[in-house]
Amino acid sequence: MLLKKIEGIVDIAKKTIVGRRANATGLITLTPESKQAIEMDKVSKGNVIEASTIAAIQAVKETPRIIPHCHPIPLEGCNVTWEWENNSLRCSVEVVAHYKTGIEMEAITGVMAGLLCVLDMVKSFEKDENGQYDNTIISDVRILEKFKSD
């Protein structure tokens, strides 16, 4: 007797290939010390923006290995941008492809990996006197746009 049918990857065989684009963003709130260390390139693990950009791009490419129901998609482009908003650093990721299914999961996965890499690199600046990260916040993570051409 079948207890439960568990769906695998959605069948997209009959869908047509179209141009697709997705944009996602997120924010990490840091201490003033972290911001200064990043801006002055004084983080012992290396250049935070460069490493976190690579982490975001890597995550975009590895999304189907991280999120079980995502299809492997032949990506055509990925742009990562960083902007300071006071002591918060915003990561935005744009992904472009021509394929049968959307790429918003790739964009948001890239954002999360980029922000997590920032945290990993500056966590020594972020710890409070008890070794906790009470003031470090990853927030505002969202898909800004999902575009599909006709």
Active site residue 120: yes
Place of tokens 């999304």: 63
pLDDT for 102: 93
What is the spatial distance between Cα 33 and Cα 15, in angstroms, rounded to a whole number?
50
3-state SS assignment for residue 74: coil
Percent of the chain's residues with pLDDT above 90? 93
Instruction: Give the list of residues 6+ apart from residue 71 with CB closer than 8 angstroms, or none.
Output: 9, 10, 12, 64, 99, 100, 101
What is the spatial distance between Cα 118 and Cα 88, in angstroms, rounded to a whole number?
11
**From the candidates 11, 41, 120, 140, which is the catalytic residue?**
120
The tens digit of pLDDT for each residue in 19-67 reads 999 999 999 999 999 999 999 999 999 999 999 999 999 999 999 999 9
**Is CATH 3.30.70.640 what the domain over 18-148 is classified as, yes or no?**
yes
Whether residue 75 is predicted with pLDDT greater than 80 in this model: the reply is yes
The count of other CB atoms within 10 Å of the CB of residue 79 is 14
3-state SS assignment for residue 98: strand
pLDDT for 1: 72
Global confidence as pTM: 0.94
Joined tokens for residue 39: 């801006």
